[in-house]
Amino acid sequence: MTAKIDAWVDCNSPYSRFAFLHLRKYAKQLRQHGVEYEIQPVFINGLNVGSGNKPPWMLPAKASYGKFDAQRAQKYFGTKPMSPPEEFPIKSLLVGVGQAEDSCDR
């Protein structure tokens, strides 16, 4: 039996980046267990607008928790500290999946 993970990511989101890197790290083990994954680009700002959600920097409680949670997630996933790219937010809808994957790798 084959299973599939559809990973909806926008590399403007650190959580998308963690998920993306984790899937890539364990891709071989996933394949060995009959699990494939596919990266689906999504526009998180559109989701925020449609759901009434706001980005962390617009909500003080979310912003301060985000700093704590980012450090914890970096430790858990074994990634380097992140900082926003020079052009932030990236225009995630204007790049192809391969380019979006490159952005997530940073």
- One pLDDT digit (tens) per residue for the chain, 106 residues: 589 999 998 877 888 889 998 999 999 999 999 999 999 888 888 888 888 888 888 889 988 898 889 889 999 988 888 776 676 666 666 655 555 555 555 5
Q: Quote the pLDDT of residue 106.
A: 54
Residue 89: which CATH number?
3.40.30.10
Rounded Cα distance between 91 and 85, Å, is: 11
The count of structural domains within the chain is 1
Q: Quote the pLDDT of residue 6.
A: 94
Q: Which structural domain range is residue 41 located in?
A: 3-105
Residue 3, CA distances (Å) to 7, 30, 33, 47, 58 in order: 13, 9, 9, 26, 38
pTM of structure: 0.70
